[in-house]
Structure 1
Amino acid sequence: MSTIKKFQVTFDCADPERVARFWCEVLGYVAPAPPEGFSTWDDYNQTLPPAERGSWFACSDPTGEGPRLYFQRVPEGKTAKNRVHLDVRVGTGLVGDARLAALEAECERLVALGATHVQTLYADGVNESCIPMLDIEGNEFCVD
């Protein structure tokens, strides 16, 4: 039997810290403390060559259960649909109107943080409701 491996999810983006802080708010994750000897990440970034400043940022689940999220700056913008996306699981165990109410409440919270509501997919007798959304740089995710 193989062992379970820890993994991180990596996002390509234009503004790593901004996107990371958005996902901290979405998931309840925390940003790491600045490197030793620096009081802020801005102080640390000022010591780097200009091209490397703000080129990455990360955040993690404070409980240690969820994967680390890593955000790296890339020169190109998003051009196609994500092949992998995150599902923000707020409706687990809920069905029908109770599930839809939980999803809609979370959608409202995330829109206030800068996310975009794409559409609401209503339960159809086979699948329960979910809400596809976009993060602050246009990456797809679902409130599920």
Structure 2
Amino acid sequence: MSLHLHNITFDCADARALADFWSRLVGWNVYYDDDPEVLVAPHFPHEGPGLLFIPVPEGKTAKNRVHLDLSPEHGTRDETVKAAVQAGASVLGDHRKPDGSGWVTLADPEGNEFCIERGVAERGLAAPRAFRIGS
């Protein structure tokens, strides 16, 4: 069996505000209608994955068990961290090392954790090979 990853969903208090933050961070568009759910995607309709924001009455109470690891397509990790903070993120942990490796853990305006790593150009790496377990 294979599945298509359609959306990554965030429970939140203010779907439009949080979607706006993530739209600025990843450079995608915000889509909404009369439904309280808000979608952030490169285009509509999207083949996925998109970021879906659903308002819920309860607030975040613990550390995320799943989070996004992001790396810049253009620019550097440090420039991306600075832009994220300017957009409303807060730094939770700085794991950068003197040799340039490492990452920065941040939280979006509603406290959802995400990490920013170095981009491929900064790492000087080729893309990893893909394989399927059991084949």
Q: Normalising to structure 1: TM-score of the pair?
A: 0.69
- Which residue in the other structure is 1:134 paired with? 107
Shift of 1:128: 2.9
Pick aligned residue for 1:111 from 85, 91, 98: 85
Contact 2:70 2:114 in 1 (8 A): yes
Q: 1:1-144 residue pairs with structure 2 within 5 A?
A: 2-32=1-31, 35=33, 44=34, 55-62=36-43, 64=46, 66-90=48-72, 102-123=76-97, 128-144=101-117
SS at 2:106 equivalent: strand
Contact 1:55 1:72 in 2 (8 A): yes
Shift of 1:91: 7.5
| Counterparts of 1:80 and 1:128, CA distance in 2 | 28
Shift of 1:4: 5.0
- RMSD value, Cα: 2.7
Which structure: larger Rg? 1
Shift of 1:59: 1.5
One-letter code aligned to 1:7: H
Question: Deviations 1:39-98 (Å, cap 9, x if unpaired)?
Answer: xxxxx4xxxxxxxxx732111123956511111111111110000001111279xxxxxx
| Counterparts of 2:52 and 2:65, CA distance in 1 | 17
Change in Cα spacing, 1:129 to 1:91, as seen in structure 2 (3 Å) is: farther
One-letter code aligned to 2:38: F
Count matched residues: 116
Where is the helix percentage greater, Structure 1 or Structure 2?
1
List structure 1 segments (4+ residues) > 4 angstroms apart after TM superposition. 63-66
Contact 2:7 2:51 in 1 (8 A): yes
Q: Identity rate of aligned residues, in percent?
A: 34
| 5+ residue gaps, structure 2 | 118-135
| Counterparts of 2:51 and 2:73, CA distance in 1 | 22
| Counterparts of 2:69 and 2:48, CA distance in 1 | 13
